[in-house]
Chain A
Amino acid sequence: MNDTCQRVDAAVREWESGTISDIQNLFFIINHSRACQRCESNYGALLPLIRRDAGERSGLTPYEESPSPDFTSRVMRRLGRTKVYRFSGSFAHTVRWALPLAGCAALLLGIGSFVVQADLRSAESVANVVFTLEAPSASRVSLVGDFNGWRPEALTPKAGGQGVWQISVPLRKGAVYTYDFLIDGQQWVADPHSETQIDDGFGGLASVLRL
């Protein structure tokens, strides 16, 4: 190994630690590594990164072209008729209104900012519905439905457990609700105990509850 290779080694050390003082040293590494078998063997695979730091195109990202032509259509199809709302209030004041209203909602209902369609004026018109899912290998299970704005609401493991998760939700009687379980933030699961399941518009099934 000659003096030049030693200088390249030192320059690579500086590049690695992010302390290189002269950009010309990066070009020095690049140029010498192409001409020296020893340095090419050591650092050739790192050259795209060093080129990027020297301000050149790294050539690392293999694709520059657009997504497939029907990408947007596929996303919109999967959204289907799903809707998302911010809590009531004019749009211009949404930011100012959302926090205190969401705070009140969270205090009263334990749920964040979304449209509440259920009428909770009369205790006699409300039922506490216990949703249960057996998922022994899950780390977390959430309940997601139109009654909570399709926002994941965490279930808790049932005491005495064996992988059973549950949550109690107050819902208005005489209404129809659609919901799903979400396991570990990734897997959507319809309620195996529900009598009716429908197409959720995402290629899966959603559960229907009639009170």
Chain B
Amino acid sequence: MSFFPILGGTLKSVEEIHAEGTERADELAAIGEVLRGNTDAFRLIVDRYKGLVVRLSISFLGNREEAEEAAQEIFLRAFRSLHRFSLDKRLLPWLYSIAVNHLRSAYGRMRRREERTTAVEVELAAGGESDPQRTVVDDYERTALRQAVDSLPPTLREVVVLYYYEQMRVESISSILGIGVENVKSRLFRGRQKLREMLQKTATLDGFP
């Protein structure tokens, strides 16, 4: 039986982020305006979700400059696809799907340029959360983990990033990626397994590789 509890609100889902009521009414009104040719109405959508999209981009790409550029492109793609958005659906999962699709290819381009490792090390060394108890060991472990995550196959990497870096629920990831919940859990299992294999320094006596 799997057991991954939600404690103290530290885990979030797309549904929790997206509040009902006034926010949704504002969004539908803005989308309606955009689809009547009022491009400036899209500003509300950008303002509301730019934080989430930029942070998701940073989680995927690890480089703030690339992440902001990618986030801009995500909103442009969302705008161009807005006429296909179903008004009875929630906007954020749709936006996340566009974001993940774009970030997949953006990440691939970054890897091919072979700039990532240096960028990630610099970003993690220079910034990060304010945590007085964070040590040099913590930074090293985070860098090692990030490099290992980046080495995962793309299908495993994206669920690991969404689940652990974006702290999304399995159900939300399932919705965004368009795969079943069991598939998400399976990929998380394989992702954790590969990460442990990459990061584990010594073998156990009982042969646990």
Q: Could you list which residues of chain A lie within 8 angstroms of chain B, going by C-beta atoms? A: 1, 5-6, 9, 12-13, 15-23, 38, 41-49, 52-64, 66-68, 71-72, 74-76, 78-79, 81-87, 91, 94-95, 112-114, 149-151, 185-186, 202
Select B64's contact among A63, A95, A113, beta carbons within 8 Å: A63
Main SS class of interface, B:
helix
- Please report the C-alpha to C-alpha distance between residue A44 and residue B84 in the assembled complex, in whole angstroms: 46
Residues of A within 8 A of B43 (CB): 72, 76
How many Å from the CB of A182 to the closest CB on chain B? 10
Q: Could you list which residues of chain B lie within 8 angstroms of chain A, going by C-beta atoms? A: 1-8, 10-11, 32, 34-37, 39-40, 42-43, 46-47, 50-51, 54-55, 58-59, 64, 68, 71-72, 75-76, 79-80, 82-84, 86-88, 105, 123-124, 127-129, 131, 134, 137-138, 141-142, 144-145, 148, 164-167, 185, 188-189, 192-193, 195-196, 199-202, 204-206, 208
Select A76's contact among B46, B68, B144, B196, beta carbons within 8 Å: B46
- Please report the C-alpha to C-alpha distance between residue A54 and residue B40 in the assembled complex, in whole angstroms: 44
**Are B76 and A75 neighbours in the complex by a CB distance under 8 Å?**
yes
Starting from the known contacts A9-B204, A54-B7, A85-B36, 12 additional A-B residue pairs (CB-CB under 8 Å) come to A45-B142, A46-B195, A47-B141, A48-B142, A56-B7, A63-B64, A79-B79, A82-B79, A84-B35, A84-B39, A84-B82, A114-B83
Residues of A within 8 A of B10 (CB): 52, 55-57
**Are B39 and A23 neighbours in the complex by a CB distance under 8 Å?**
no
Residues of A within 8 A of B59 (CB): 60-61
Residues of B within 8 A of A95 (CB): 86-88
Residues of B within 8 A of A68 (CB): 68
Residues of A within 8 A of B144 (CB): 45
Residues of A within 8 A of B79 (CB): 79, 82, 84
Residues of B within 8 A of A22 (CB): 3
**Are A186 and B196 neighbours in the complex by a CB distance under 8 Å?**
no
How many Å from the CB of A66 to the closest CB on chain B? 6
**Are B164 and A76 neighbours in the complex by a CB distance under 8 Å?**
no
For A9, A55, A202, the residue with the greatest tally of chain B CB atoms inside 10 Å of its CB is A55
**Are A55 and B11 neighbours in the complex by a CB distance under 8 Å?**
yes
Residues of B within 8 A of A72 (CB): 43, 46-47, 50
How many Å from the CB of A11 to the closest CB on chain B? 11
